Structure 1
Amino acid sequence: MSAYGFAHLRDRTPHADILEYLERIQATLDPFGGRFVIHGPPTEVVEGSWPGSMVLIDFPSMTEAREWYRSPAYQAILPLRTDHIEGDLLLIEGVDPNYDPRERAAKLRAEAAGAA
């Protein structure tokens, strides 16, 4: 099942280190099957507010996502970003292609009824 690396980046400060990070990150993703799905602006906010930008990287599974993040190659470039951009990074497992939110609603209803 696919997994994703999701970053919410705020207070981006232009710096040469950021350019180096961008130049080097793809080489850290390639061994783990990682690919960018979303990379920054533009963003159209239709509800609420969204300070900053978004990055979404697709991985074949949570195993590859974790291995990429922990890899020596990525850890070597990580400070190039974190020293200049405030943000959050999450690794998130995707849903099955046959996912049906109605099944989730039924499960939540059953749990709520059992707790009452």
Structure 2
Amino acid sequence: MSPTGLSLESWLFILVALVAANLAFVSSKFLFVKPLEQKHVGWCLLEMLIWYAVIGLLGYSLESFMGNVFPKRWEFFAVTVCLFLVAAFPGFTWRFLVKHRNDAHQ
């Protein structure tokens, strides 16, 4: 157990969630599979929702593997969606706010 009270597995799960929150902004393909002509914010939000569900299922399975699954009400989901959106800010900034060299001048 670390001094903060979280185990290594908990920190690893948090790191995986941070990476997953930014995956929607890494590739111009939808879920790294379907090529899109232009990937706009709507596609990224839909992809983020899918990654949120994947991370949620992973967390639920890890929790059930460890023991009791605690009940989750709407407050839990409201907080975790907000945390996921905040964690995705670096990817959003890189994708939509930073000017890249290969972008055409307008």
Superposed pair shares fold, TM > 0.5: no
- The TM-score normalised by the length of structure 1 is 0.28
Instruction: Compare CA radii of gyration and give the structure with the larger one.
Output: 1
- The TM-score normalised by the length of structure 2 is 0.29
Structure ranking higher on relative contact order (CA contacts 8 Å, 6+ apart): 1
Greater helix share, structure number: 2
